[in-house]
């Protein structure tokens, strides 16, 4: 290990297209000359602070495991609303937690909800719409997580509490964050229908707001899939992806190769999903007769859970087929909004070998910031803050406050050339073609 790594100073490497998209900036004066533009890569570099981490939390394993140690308390208050899915293929409900103002007195705790979370009353919910132009952040959490996760709150604090200018919500995956399942199925790694409905709802409810997305870990994979499926018609203005496992098959095989990967990470994640299964046992098993309950309960690792629950639920023949089909490597090539991806090379869960460096070099809309240290959703600095939060927030603030988003949308209307062969036209490569066909998004 390099001396700088022992001191907590991480090396930062950038990956991008040779000609990334140009971000038009708002005019700083009344001059109507040619608009100032900056490349997505240069903009990302300008706002990203040096990565200097706590030298005592010295590698990816320690960084990742440190998240389990009680640290800073960030008192985010949420108001929950249950949405009825508009998907005809996967109906049901899902819970969205909106960041609300911190009350002067703590509300009466509701044991059926996560800490500091209460339901909207009907009257409160009816008053939500407005014509304001605040920036709005839509968040997707990691595997078996939810709005209560501390890594989300590290991003919400500077945007919603300290700055005070942002609004935000967390789309909880079905069954997560003490939400109920009414559809008979959990979520999977390419379950994009709920976030799609939420983005559409926010755009209708707040037509002038600037909409942004951020996804963490598996939520990053889902968000990347969503962005690729939407392509140029995406209603988000920009997004951030943190610790995405990208190629799920590669990431899962890497976990199984080492003792700590299999018996710590894969086991902890498998236990978390099994707990969700038990929490919603009646709803899941009632609608899924092909699930072998005894095999699920005997499973120890995440890939076994996926084999015994996700495969019979969704129709994939093996967990490998599921991982290959749900990965977000190819969909990133169809993304048409500015995206900053953040990754640590020593991440023991979203492993470096699964990161699609070459695909990112082919996308003009995605830039990857890769650090030599940081672990999974960690990047702990001295004092307990997280570097990824400062980087993500700086990018989002830059896009919200200085980028000319209307001009950027007009750029999106110009179609990009398709990837075709020269000798077998009209053969066309489609980055979002899937093997598991879903009528709602096909």
Q: Exactly one of 97, 194, 346, 347 is catalytic; which is it?
A: 347
**401: exposed, middle or buried (C-beta count within 10 Å: 0-12, 13-18, 19+)?**
exposed
Distance, CA of 312 to CA of 316 (rounded, Å) = 7
Q: Exactly one of 44, 217, 363, 389 is catalytic; which is it?
A: 217
Distance, CA of 165 to CA of 306 (rounded, Å) = 40
Q: Cα 394–381–1 angle (5° rounding)?
A: 115
Asked if 347 is an active-site residue, the reply is yes
Q: Whose structure tokens read 């997505």?
A: 40
How large is the C-alpha radius of gyration of the chain? Answer: 21
| Distance from the Cα of residue 402 to its chain's centroid | 23
Q: For residue 60, give the DSSP letter.
A: H
Q: Exactly one of 376, 378, 389, 391 is catalytic; which is it?
A: 376
H-helix or E-strand spanning residue 15:
strand 12-15
Phi-psi region of 116 (alpha: psi -120 to 50; beta: other; left: phi over 0): left
Q: Cα 380–384–385 angle (5° rounding)?
A: 70
- What is the chain's length? 442
Asked if 376 is an active-site residue, the reply is yes
Asked if 217 is an active-site residue, the reply is yes
| Pair 201, 177: CB distance under 8 Å | no
Q: Where are the alpha helices (DSSP H) in 299-386?
A: 302-305, 311-314, 319-326, 357-362
Q: Does the bond joining 74 to the residue before it have cis omega, within 30 degrees of 0?
A: no
For residue 95, what are the β-bridge partners?
82
Say how many C-beta atoms besides its own lie within 10 A of residue 347's C-beta. 28
Indicate which residues carry an active-site annotation. 217, 347, 376
């Amino acid at each position: 290990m390099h001396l700088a790594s022992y001191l907590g100073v991480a090396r930062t490497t950038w990956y991008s297209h040779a000609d990334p998209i140009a971000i038009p900036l708002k005019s700083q004066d009344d001059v109507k000359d040619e608009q100032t533009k900056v490349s997505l890569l240069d903009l990302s570099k300008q706002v990203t602070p040096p990565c200097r981490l706590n030298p005592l939390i010295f590698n990816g394993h320690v960084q990742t495991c440190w998240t389990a140690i009680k640290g800073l308390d960030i008192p985010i208050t949420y108001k929950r609303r249950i949405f009825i899915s508009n998907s005809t293929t996967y109906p049901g409900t899902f819970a969205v937690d909106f960041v609300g103002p911190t009350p002067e007195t703590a509300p009466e705790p509701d044991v059926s909800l996560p800490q500091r979370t209460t339901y909207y009353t009907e009257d409160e919910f009816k008053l939500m719409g407005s014509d304001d132009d605040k920036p709005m952040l839509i968040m997707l959490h990691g595997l078996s997580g939810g709005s209560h996760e501390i890594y989300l709150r590290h991003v919400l604090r500077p945007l919603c509490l300290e700055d005070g200018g942002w609004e935000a919500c967390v789309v909880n995956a079905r069954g997560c964050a003490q939400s109920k399942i009414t559809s008979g199925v959990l979520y999977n790694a390419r379950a994009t229908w709920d976030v799609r409905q939420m983005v559409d709802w926010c755009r209708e409810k707040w037509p002038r707001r600037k909409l942004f997305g951020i996804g963490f870990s598996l939520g990053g994979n889902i968000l990347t899939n969503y962005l690729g499926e939407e392509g140029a018609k995406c209603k988000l203005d920009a997004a951030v992806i943190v610790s995405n496992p990208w190629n799920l098959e590669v990431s899962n095989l890497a976990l199984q190769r080492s003792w700590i990967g299999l018996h710590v990470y894969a086991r902890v994640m498998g236990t978390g999903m099994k707990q969700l299964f038990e929490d919603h046992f009646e709803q899941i098993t009632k609608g899924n007769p092909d699930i072998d309950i005894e095999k699920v309960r005997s499973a120890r690792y995440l890939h076994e859970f996926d084999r015994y629950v996700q495969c019979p639920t969704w129709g994939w023949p093996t967990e490998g087929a599921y991982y290959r089909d749900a990965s977000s490597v190819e969909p990133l090539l169809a993304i048409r909004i500015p995206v900053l991806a953040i990754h640590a090379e020593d991440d023991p869960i979203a492993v470096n070998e699964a990161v699609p460096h070459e695909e990112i070099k082919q996308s003009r809309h995605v830039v990857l910031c890769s650090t030599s240290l940081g672990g999974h959703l960690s990047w702990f600095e001295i004092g307990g803050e997280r570097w990824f939060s400062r980087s993500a927030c700086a990018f989002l603030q830059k896009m919200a406050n200085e980028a000319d988003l209307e001009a950027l949308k007009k750029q999106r209307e110009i179609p990009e050339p398709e990837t075709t062969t020269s000798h077998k036209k009209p053969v066309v490569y489609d980055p979002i073609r899937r093997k598991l066909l879903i009528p709602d998004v096909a």
